[in-house]
């Protein structure tokens, strides 16, 4: 995603952020709407030595250093698990390595306390250039309570001209003591038209389907496209699952399969309740609804199973076997039949099929 075009829906929050004087900003939005891109744009603007209309010029030494990821007055705190997806290798981020040599361990989803301490040490050094310093913490909820508490003093009284940018999906997931020390900057989701136009500009086809698949999050839709998941492949999911054709999903990463099944389950439950589906089109869901949708109780049980699977989706199981097991489990939903319970008009009972 690092090479993607600037998300146009961030223009407005960027202008708002540039007008804010607070030394600590909390950039938040429901879901991933480009908080990281916005944080980086604000950092570039604040560090630029010849800003134009408050924005980074792109030409000064500071802008070049930012582009090369070697600005000495910029520091990024990122969980290891986000480095590859965001295109920031460990050396880029200037974060002091802990040297524990955990190269074989799964990349952490947490911002570690030692990385935070290194950032605090960095923040106390004199600025190497014009005086401004920027610390980005993405996402701030990746700090556990101990780490977040270690940040409080810096957040309360940043040394020199340090400014902090924290990001979050849900500000409520942060410690109240952290939240209250930041001024909030809310991002608003792009309209469907804005999201689709942006995706089309990146060469994505089937933008309407992929945007829905990503719950309206354009950058997540782009990620689907970059993983090789086309609009057609997404639309085939409901029918493939109903027919137990796990091979249709076998090339997808296991977490992506779990996510797709989750979204399918959500839409089937919504259909059961008479609502409009969110992630799949009505046309894509039609084969799954014929001759009947799986019964409500079976869908609710499946949803619980999927939540469990999501918690273990990084379990080092053999991926194709895992996908096969997940789709076989899903296909079994359609093996249950619905019959009217005697004496209760319209009430439904679930019986095993056959
Ligand atoms: Zn500049």
93 alpha carbon – ligand 1 mean position (Å): 20
| Residues 283-340 pLDDT 10s | 999 988 888 899 899 999 999 989 988 887 666 556 778 888 888 888 888 886 544 3
- List, in sequence order, every residue forming a beta bridge with 24; answer none if it has no partner: 164
The DSSP letter of residue 76 is: E
Q: What is the DSSP letter of 52?
A: B
Asked whether residue 176 falls in the same domain as residue 252, the answer is no
Residues 154 and 287 in one domain: no
Average pLDDT along the chain: 87
Ligand 1 mean position, distance from CA 26 (Å): 24
For 50-94, write each residue's pLDDT tens digit: 999 889 999 999 999 999 999 999 999 999 999 988 888 865 444
What three-state secondary structure class fits 64? helix
Are 244 and 157 within one domain?
no
- How far is ligand 1, taken at its centre, from the CA of residue 8, in Å? 21
- Both 172 and 25 in one domain: the answer is yes
Cα 159 to middle of ligand 1, angstroms: 23
The CATH number given to whatever domain includes residue 80 is: 3.40.50.300
CA of 58 to the centre of ligand 1 (A): 5
142 and 13 in a common domain: yes
Q: Are residues 134 and 240 in the same domain?
A: no
CA 8 to chain centroid, in Å, comes to 18
Domain assignment of residue 210, yes or no: no
Per the listing, tokens 């079994």 go with 332
Strand 74-77 relative to strand 183-186: parallel, antiparallel, unpaired?
A: unpaired
Same domain (yes/no): 142, 281: no
pLDDT at 110 over 90: yes
Same domain, 131 and 18: yes
Residues 243 and 239: their CA atoms lie apart, in Å, by 6
140 and 38: one domain? yes
Segment 29-62, tens digit of pLDDT = 988 899 999 999 999 999 999 999 889 999 999 9
pLDDT given at position 104? 57
In a domain, 216, yes or no: no
User: In 3-state terms, what secondary structure has residue 12?
Assistant: helix
Are the beta carbons of 153 and 24 closer than 8 angstroms?
Answer: no
Task: Print the domain residue range for 165.
Answer: 8-186
Phi and psi, residue 322, nearest 5°: -65, -45
- Ion ligand 1 contact residues with beta carbon within 5 A: 48, 56-57, 60, 63
Question: How many structural domains comprise the chain?
Answer: 2
pLDDT digits (tens, 9 = 90+) for 185-203: 999 889 999 999 999 999 9
**250 CA from centroid of ligand 1 (Å):** 47
In a domain, 13, yes or no: yes
Residue 79 alpha carbon to ligand 1 centre in Å: 28
Residues 53, 181, single domain; the answer is: yes
Same domain, 259 and 174: no
Structure token digits, residue 30: 């429901």
Q: Are 136 and 40 in contact (CB under 8 A)?
A: yes
Q: Roughly what angle, to the nearest 10 degrees, separates helices 192-201 and 218-226?
A: 30
């Amino acid at each position: 995603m690092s090479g993607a075009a600037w998300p146009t829906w961030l223009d407005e929050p960027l202008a708002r952020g540039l007008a804010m004087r607070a030394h600590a900003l909390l950039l938040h939005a429901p879901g991933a709407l480009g908080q990281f891109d916005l944080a980086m744009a604000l950092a570039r603007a604040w560090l630029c030595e010849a800003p134009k209309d408050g924005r980074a010029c792109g030409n000064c030494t500071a802008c070049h250093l930012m582009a090369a990821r070697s600005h000495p007055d910029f520091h990024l705190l990122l969980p290891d698990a986000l480095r590859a997806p965001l295109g920031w290798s460990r050396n880029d981020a200037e974060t002091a390595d802990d040297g524990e040599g955990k190269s074989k361990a799964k990349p952490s989803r947490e911002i570690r306390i030692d990385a935070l301490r290194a950032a605090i040490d960095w923040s106390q050094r004199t600025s190497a250039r014009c005086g401004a310093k920027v610390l980005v913490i993405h996402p701030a909820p990746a700090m556990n309570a101990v780490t977040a508490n270690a940040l409080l003093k810096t957040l309360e009284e940043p040394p020199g001209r340090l400014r902090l940018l924290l990001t979050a999906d849900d500000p409520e997931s942060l410690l109240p003591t952290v939240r209250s020390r930041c001024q909030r900057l809310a991002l608003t989701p792009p309209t469907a038209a804005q999201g689709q136009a942006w995706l089309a500009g990146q060469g994505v086809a089937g933008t309407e389907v992929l945007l829905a698949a990503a719950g309206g999050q354009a950058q997540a839709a782009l990620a689907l496209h970059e993983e090789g998941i086309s609009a057609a492949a997404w639309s085939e999911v409901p029918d493939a699952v109903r027919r137990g054709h796990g091979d249709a999903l076998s090339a997808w990463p296991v977490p992506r399969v779990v996510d797709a099944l989750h979204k399918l389950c959500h839409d089937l439950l919504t259909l059961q309740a008479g609502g409009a589906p969110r992630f799949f089109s009505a046309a894509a869901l039609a084969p799954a609804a014929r001759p009947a949708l799986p019964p409500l109780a079976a869908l609710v049980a499946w949803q619980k199973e999927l939540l469990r699977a999501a918690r273990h989706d990084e379990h080092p199981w053999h991926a194709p076997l895992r996908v096969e097991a997940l789709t076989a489990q899903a296909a079994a939903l359609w093996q249950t039949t619905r019959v009217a319970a005697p004496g209760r008009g319209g009430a439904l009972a679930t019986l095993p099929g056959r």
